[in-house]
Structure 1
């Protein structure tokens, strides 16, 4: 009995720790989003617009996953139609961040390897079109999975009360395999785009000199960080298979593995965007510092 109480106590600690992390990064994201709208340069420059898209996407994703975490922990049930609504938004925004990261990487490729065409290809108008394309591409996996769900579910299923999770929308094993195959295909294409950009920028970096060389290597490091962030998002797709295998071994081990997967492969990738662009970018950082100190700070 004491062992069971201890396990519940540990899980309670973990839930509280997640709330601290989520609350902290939501505050940081809110500060960065506010800073984005305070300066005209940011919402007229493509890379900052895409950065704002990742911040909004990550914030919404963090809120929804945290709500589901709390609901699952306290065993709250909801009707299927409500869970379906949450799933649609979560499914789309699972892809919005990595697809936007790929778009940001390609923007860096254009800026460094095609500087004369950068103003033309990466205008504000192009950024708005890019956002529409990102959301369109991100919604395709959700549409495919939901199509198979609607074809399999009965009318009475929508009025049932269940604990909300992705698994309740998968009736057959092939549906899970289809969902995984689409996700792996998407991330394969994104990885190819990032590797292509890295190789091209590397060639320019070796040939550059002076200030151009410094700027190019900084862009190269940004691409590497995007690649690492995308890798964490990719590993997230393998987590259900790992958790399913562990569940057959031990329930408490399953709980521990699922918690670690949530921290490292769901929370972590969404918390890296503020560090990669919000703090590493000199212009954005100085504007943020000035805003945080209510205008008392001025760049020397």
Structure 2
């Protein structure tokens, strides 16, 4: 009898340990990402030259979008890990933000590639919407497109009559609200459409800029930089598309190992959703020479603020002696 009573206790303790390990693996990555994003956004806000460039405004828009996406994703992860339940009215906005920002990322990448295309082919006669003062119109259109499809997805589903929006506590997961076959099919079709359209846009702009480099003899350096930037957007899109590999990787891991299902789900979430989202804006941001220089100056200023304090202490000690 004693052994039978110890088994549930051991299982519960192992489960709690696994939850603690998972949380400790996610939180440091999130804090490091948030620190880098805050530094970049501070540089954008303090340097006028970045606010006068459509390219950097779109990049700042992507940083804010990815920060919202990761913040909502990590909050949902923590709620699931802690088995926190709350009414539907509080859960739907969090899931809505996570879905909208997830779909908005490839659209921003397409807009950034088109901005490079417009900058190369229409340097003097740039359309009004692509000027830095009116780029907010494009950003607003991207948000409207991204919000439209989740609203349609939620509206075509059937609500469980036993679940009351204001009082019934539920575990905040996407499957709770989008579990019907038509919703799953609609969500998959929208995701494939988004990424296919963005892939076509990036491929078109890359080929056009590549052909332009063969024609131009002057200003070849800027055209090559634009071509490499568009190619980097394609790599960022591939990072975002890693989320589509989740069903395949789950089956492969089940065949190869004997992991628990919740461990497989966490592994896929960490490797194919979080890490690509961490890397995508950081790779693009630290690759840019101007932004990288200001980031270095920011960290140097922080270190220089500490050094005079230490020197003053040493000076006071020398006078005291």
User: Is 1:255 matched up with 2:234?
Assistant: no
Summarize the Cα distance change of 1:171–1:106 in structure 2 as closer, same or farther, 3 Å threshold: same
| Aligned-pair CA distance for 1:48 | 0.7
User: Is 1:98 matched up with 2:106?
Assistant: yes
Counterpart pick for 1:286 among 293, 296, 302: 293
Q: Any gaps of 5 or more consecutive residues in structure 1?
A: none
User: Is 1:180 matched up with 2:172?
Assistant: no
Instruction: Give 3-state SS (helix, strand or coil) of 1:290's partner.
Output: helix
Deviates more, 1:120-129 or 1:88-97: 120-129
Summarize the Cα distance change of 1:45–1:270 in structure 2 as closer, same or farther, 3 Å threshold: same
Q: Deviations over 1:212-244 (max 9, x none)?
A: 3332222222212211221222231453x4477
Aligned to 1:269: 276
Counterpart pick for 1:53 among 61, 64, 68: 61
Aligned to 1:195: 203
Q: Deviations over 1:142-180 (max 9, x none)?
A: 11111113x544384323211111000124212111111
User: In the alignment, is the contact (CA less than 8 A) between 1:87 and 1:166 conserved in 2?
Assistant: yes
Alignment of 1:216-231 (within 5 A): 216-231=223-238
Instruction: Give 3-state SS (helix, strand or coil) of 2:28's partner.
Output: helix
Summarize the Cα distance change of 1:86–1:243 in structure 2 as closer, same or farther, 3 Å threshold: farther
Summarize the Cα distance change of 1:172–1:119 in structure 2 as closer, same or farther, 3 Å threshold: closer
Q: Cα RMSD between the aligned structures?
A: 2.8
Aligned to 2:78: 70
Q: How many residues align?
A: 294
| Aligned-pair CA distance for 1:117 | 2.9
- Structure 1 segments (4+ residues) deviating >6 Å: 246-251
Query: Which is greater in Rg?
Result: 2
Aligned to 2:48: 40
Q: Distance in 2 between matches of 1:124 and 1:81?
A: 38
